[in-house]
C-alpha cells in the first residue's frame, strides 16, 4: 500500500507541477498579447493625434492666407488711387509670404505623417496659392489689370482647401 500511496502522491505532485507550468505559460502569453495590443492602440492614438494636429494647422494657415486674399480684393475694389493702394498691396504680399512659409512647414509635417492621399491634397492646396500670388506680384510690378483677375482664384483655392478637408477627414476616421 505504501508503494501505491507513494506512486499516487508522486503522480499528483507531478500533475500539479505540470498544471502550474501550463497555467504560467498561458498567463505569460496572455500578458504578452495584452501588452502588444495596448502598444498598438497607443500607437494608433499617437498617429491620429499627430495627423489631426497637422491637418488642423494646415486648415488654419489656409484661412490666414484667405484673409489676406480678402484684404487684397478689398484694396483692389477700394476707390483709393493706385499710388495709395501700392503700400497696402506690398504689405499684403509680405503677409502672404510669411503665411506661406508657415503653410509650407505644415505641409512638410503632413508629408511626414501621411498618408499619401492627404499629402497630395495638401500639395494641391499649396499649388492653388500660386496664381493669386503671381497676380499680386504683377499688380505690384505695375500691371494695372492684374488685380481684376485676382478674384477668379478664390474658387480654386477654396476647392483645394475643401478637397484637403475631405481627404483629411477620411484619413483620420480610417485609422
Q: What is the pLDDT along the chain (175 residues), one digit of tens a residue?
A: 566 777 777 778 778 777 777 787 778 777 788 877 888 888 888 888 989 999 999 999 999 999 999 999 898 888 788 788 899 999 999 999 999 999 999 999 999 988 999 999 999 999 999 999 999 999 899 887 888 888 888 889 999 999 999 999 998 887 6
| Burial state string for 124-159 with b = 16 or more CB within 10 A and e = fewer than 16 | bbbebbeebbebbebbbeeeeebbeebbebeebbee
With respect to residue 76, please indicate whether it lies within any of the assigned structural domains.
Answer: yes
Domain count, the chain: 1
- The answer to the question of residue 42 being in a domain is no
The DSSP-derived string for 81-98 is: -HHHHHHHHHHHHHHHHH
Q: Is 152 within the bounds of a domain? A: yes
Element (H, E) at 159: helix 154-174
pLDDT of residue 175: 66
H-helix or E-strand spanning residue 69: helix 2-77
Claim: this prediction has a pTM higher than 0.85? no
The range of the structural domain enclosing residue 73 comes to 47-174
Give the whole-angstrom CA distance, residue 118 versus residue 112.
Answer: 11
Note the pLDDT of residue 2.
63
Question: Can you give the CATH number for the domain in which 65 is found?
Answer: 1.20.120
Where residue 115 falls (left for φ over 0; alpha for ψ -120 to 50; beta otherwise) is beta
Three-state secondary-structure class, residue 115: coil
Residue 31 lies in a domain: no
Contact 87, 133 (CB under 8 A): no
On whether residue 57 sits in a domain, the answer given is yes
- Alpha-carbon distances of 99 from 57, 62, 89, rounded to whole Å: 12, 8, 15
Amino acid at each position: 500500500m505504501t508503494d501505491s500511496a507513494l506512486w499516487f502522491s508522486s503522480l499528483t505532485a507531478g500533475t500539479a507541477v505540470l498544471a502550474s507550468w501550463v497555467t504560467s505559460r498561458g498567463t505569460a502569453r496572455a500578458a504578452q498579447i495584452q501588452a502588444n495590443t495596448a502598444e498598438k492602440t497607443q500607437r494608433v492614438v499617437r498617429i491620429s493625434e499627430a495627423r489631426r494636429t497637422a491637418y488642423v494647422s494646415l486648415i488654419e494657415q489656409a484661412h490666414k492666407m484667405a484673409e489676406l486674399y480678402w484684404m487684397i480684393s478689398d484694396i483692389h475694389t477700394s476707390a483709393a488711387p493706385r499710388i495709395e493702394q501700392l503700400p497696402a498691396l506690398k504689405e499684403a504680399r509680405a503677409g502672404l509670404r510669411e503665411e506661406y512659409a508657415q503653410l509650407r512647414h505644415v505641409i512638410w509635417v503632413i508629408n511626414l505623417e501621411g498618408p499619401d492621399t492627404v499629402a497630395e491634397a495638401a500639395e494641391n492646396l499649396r499649388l492653388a496659392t500660386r496664381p493669386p500670388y503671381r497676380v499680386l506680384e504683377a499688380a505690384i510690378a505695375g500691371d494695372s489689370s492684374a488685380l481684376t483677375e485676382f478674384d477668379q482664384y478664390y474658387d480654386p483655392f477654396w476647392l483645394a482647401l475643401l478637397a484637403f478637408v475631405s481627404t483629411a477627414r477620411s484619413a483620420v476616421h480610417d485609422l
